[in-house]
Structure 1
């Protein structure tokens, strides 16, 4: 059984026991968060009706509330003018462990 959940502005495919990284959530380590479901597949049964999906939620436990993504380096360079610029970015993430799809 797996579900597609809306988490942090993205959609993620999750199963019970999976660990996922989502954009930073306002939750501390050990807290439980719930996500709305976009689709559920249980064997050969697919649930996509909005009325049925409203009854289902995915629960996850916060494993690491201070995770970070990879460092991205941005460089600009203009030839023959001496103009060069460096910039960097590192996304703040939250690591979650899926505990239940119910």
Structure 2
């Protein structure tokens, strides 16, 4: 089984062909092709982590859609002072389908 560890959206993701992943929002519309930077490649028994060899590897993905993550509620409270603050956040995400590891 061939899989790669790629750097995407500030994190590292384990991907193989056909996987669908969610990463931080990337520019472009649905159907656009995106290249991801590999950090590690596993091909059967061989593991490739040398930068010179990884420069030849291309991990391509297709952007499926843009979406937003779940709402995160941030609450701040200080006792005996009457200070309360509430804030919410939803992360902007992109869903990608891995189309090839070459």
Q: Same fold (TM over 0.5)?
A: yes
Structure 2 residue aligned with 1:89:
89
Q: Does 1:7 align with 2:11?
A: no
Aligned pairs, number: 101
Aligned structure 1 segments of 4 or more residues deviating by more than 6 angstroms: none
Secondary structure at the counterpart of residue 53 of structure 2: helix
Structure 2 residue aligned with 1:50:
51
Structure 1 residue aligned with 2:67:
67
Task: Please give the root-mean-square deviation of Cα atoms over the aligned residues, in Å.
Answer: 0.8
Counterparts of residues 19-58 of structure 1 (less than 5 Å): 19-58=20-59
User: Hey, what's the Cα distance between the residues in 1 that align with 2:69 and 2:58?
Assistant: 27
Q: Identify unmatched segments of 5+ residues in structure 2.
A: none
* Offset from partner CA, 1:36-60 (integer Å, 9 cap, x none): 1111001111111111110001000
User: Hey, what's the Cα distance between the residues in 1 that align with 2:42 and 2:88?
Assistant: 40
Q: Identify unmatched segments of 5+ residues in structure 1.
A: none
TM-score (ref. length: structure 2):
0.94
User: Hey, what's the Cα distance between the residues in 2 that align with 1:61 and 1:82?
Assistant: 50
